[in-house]
Structure 1
Amino acid sequence: MRLVIAKCSVDYVGRLKAHLPLAVRLLLVKADGSVLVHSDGGSYKPLNWMSPPATLRIVSPDDVELEDGVISQWIVKSTKADEQLIINIYEELHESSHDLGVDPGLIKDGVEADLQRLLAEQIELLGVGFTLIRREYFTAIGPVDILARDSAGATVAIELKRRGDIDGVEQLTRYLELLNRDPLLAPVRGIFAAQQIKPQAKTLANDRGIECKTLDYDAMRGVDDSASRLF
């Protein structure tokens, strides 16, 4: 992983245009080809990014004519879609590279891991005609718990929690923003699934067009047979 702290401006050019004015930011270049632009706030969500597969080309004023004060320009192009990040660097404050090796992956809480496995096996609980694409679908900002298709063939991203709160909805929102950049998957809708979902999380999910699904963990495990109960 390459880390660069620099005074820079950033322009995204694709289906829409976005501009980050001049400021000091952290630039991350990962081994998978993704490039992420971070500020010192906003938690772990990048201000902008380019998902892999992508190519990075760095040019200097000796190569091409750049704006006054720009010491180098990063041109990050997606190899799957017609979009790019253009990062103009005015001052570089720090640079380092680190080999992180192979990551063992996220080890989830036992119940969450079981929920994921059981829902993947019983994907029809989400609706008639649902089919599984895969569990732990990798993205540049983390793995989506389950990626599936509904009866119409549309892509659905599912985020699983034991107790669903606002943070989980925010997490799924970030995944959806990223997945909808992929023309092979878009449009992608979201389902927020949990054993319990807080009212505030339901309100936020509904506002963002995300469906909420309450899961009966015991029934999924076959421990609680609802058909044999009187109440």
Structure 2
Amino acid sequence: MRLVIARCSVDYAGRLSAHLPLATRLLMVKGDGSLLVHSDGGSYKPLNWMSPPCTLEESAPSEEQVEAGVAQVWTVTHKKTEDKLIVSIFEVLHDSNHELGIDPGLQKDGVEAHLQKLLAEQIELLGEGHRLVRREYMTAIGPVDILATDASGASVAVELKRRGDIDGVEQLTRYLELMNRDPLLAPVTGVFAAQEIKPQARTLAEDRGIRCVVLDYDAMKGVDSGVPTLF
């Protein structure tokens, strides 16, 4: 992982356009190729980012940019959509590389882990004809909670949360982007399952073709089958 603290401005160009004016920020370049732009606030959420598959090119600024004080330009291009994240760096305050090694993935506990076990045992809650392939299906960027197949035999990736928010949808989106590049799995659809799903997360999921399932934890503990609420 490469960590760069720099005075920079950021422009996103593609299906949507966004601009971050000049400020000091953390630029995080991960081993999977993604780039995230962080400020010193906003908790763990980046201000902007580009998910893989993408390429990062560092180039010299134009004469006009040099006059404006730009020292270097990073252009991150998504290989599929051709969206671009352009980082204009005015001053680098810190630049370091760190080898993190292979991450074992999130070790879940409590209700969330029990939800995963119960849903694996009651996979029909996702719909008639669904079958469990395995729990904790490993990908290059972490484990998918449940890999299943639907009635037609198509692959289904399930992300489980106690409370489903936008970050969970983003996480499942990254898994789906990666899994759909595997010809042995594709096409892979997504299911975002939780005891409670926030309206914004539901809207984002549905916009990306991800099905939302609200799970009744108490009912799952007390019965062998049931019908979840679908949105």
Give TM-score, length-normalised by structure 1. Answer: 0.70
Alignment of 1:148-227 (within 5 A): 158-161=158-161, 164-165=162-163, 168-175=164-171, 191-194=192-195, 197=196, 210-215=212-217, 216-219=219-222, 224=223
Task: Give % identity.
Answer: 53
Q: Contact 1:130–1:148 at 8 Å: present in 2 too?
A: yes
What secondary structure is seen at the aligned counterpart in 2 of 1:85?
strand
Cα deviation for residue 176 of structure 1 reads: 6.0
Q: Distance in 2 between matches of 1:206 and 1:34?
A: 25
Q: Contact 1:180–1:186 at 8 Å: present in 2 too?
A: no
Distance 1:153 1:20, change over 3 A: farther
Q: Distance in 2 between matches of 1:186 and 1:12?
A: 29
Q: Distance in 2 between matches of 1:226 and 1:17?
A: 46
Distance 1:115 1:151, change over 3 A: same
Q: Contact 2:10–2:86 at 8 Å: present in 1 too?
A: yes
Distance 1:125 1:21, change over 3 A: same
Q: Contact 2:125–2:225 at 8 Å: present in 1 too?
A: no
What secondary structure is seen at the aligned counterpart in 1 of 2:215?
strand
Q: Contact 1:137–1:147 at 8 Å: present in 2 too?
A: no
For 2:125, the equivalent position in structure 1 comes to 125
1:142-194 CA-to-partner distances (Å, cap 9, x unmatched) read: 75534667669999764424xx34xx424324436767988x59997753323
1:24-69 CA-to-partner distances (Å, cap 9, x unmatched) read: 11100111111111111111111111112221110123xx545121
Distance 1:226 1:97, change over 3 A: closer
Alignment of 1:1-231 (within 5 A): 1-61=1-61, 64-65=62-63, 67=65, 68-109=68-109, 111-120=111-120, 122-130=122-130, 135=136, 145-146=145-146, 158-161=158-161, 164-165=162-163, 168-175=164-171, 191-194=192-195, 197=196, 210-215=212-217, 216-219=219-222, 224=223
Q: Contact 1:4–1:96 at 8 Å: present in 2 too?
A: yes
Q: Contact 2:139–2:175 at 8 Å: present in 1 too?
A: no
1:58-90 CA-to-partner distances (Å, cap 9, x unmatched) read: 0123xx545121100001112232212111001
Amino acid aligned to 1:212? V
Q: Distance in 2 between matches of 1:44 and 1:205?
A: 17
Distance 1:172 1:96, change over 3 A: same
Distance 1:132 1:55, change over 3 A: farther
Q: Distance in 1 between matches of 2:14 and 2:168?
A: 23
Superposed CA RMSD? 3.8
